[in-house]
Amino acid sequence: MRQDRDRATTLDRTLIALADPTRRRLLDHVGRRPQRPSDLGRGLPISRPAVSRHLRVLRQAGLVEAIPQGREMLYRLSPRPVSLVEVRQYVERVSRSWDRALERFKAFAEQEETS
């Protein structure tokens, strides 16, 4: 049971991956074309090992893929990131909850105004 609690869900891994601005920049770069880690690190104030760690987080979240190309690895966006479907569903569910709460608040405020 403890293992289940300690294990991050796909949603958790994806939100954690997207929460970091450096990883989002790497996603933007990879989205343009497949690139090597050394190319992805150019212009970023981080070391090559840090780029690799960020890419590992993105890969574990299912957002990027590593493709062997000779002795090197190229990183590209995952063609069908299932993890983003789960994030989209979560955000839509939370958004609906907020919409309902705001509608109730509006109705309450309007009722108070007419009283």
Q: What share of the chain is helix, strand, coil (3-state, %, to 5)?
A: 65, 10, 20
pLDDT greater at residue 111 or residue 58: 58
Q: State pLDDT tens for residues 19-73.
A: 999 999 999 999 999 999 999 988 889 999 999 999 999 999 999 999 999 999 9
Q: Is the pLDDT of residue 6 over 80?
A: no
The pLDDT score that the predictor gives to residue 1 is: 44
Helices 10-19 and 48-60: angle between axes, nearest 10 degrees: 150
Query: Which pLDDT does position 113 carry in this prediction?
Result: 81
Token pair listed for 106: 């509006």
For the stretch 69-103, pLDDT in tens is: 999 999 999 998 888 889 999 999 999 999 999 99
83: Cα separation from own chain's centroid: 8
Domains of the chain: 2-114 (1.10.10.10)
Instruction: Supply the pLDDT for residue 7.
Output: 57
pLDDT score recorded for residue 8: 67
pLDDT value, residue 111 = 86
Cβ neighbours for 34, distance < 8 A, ≥ 6 positions apart: 67, 74, 75, 76
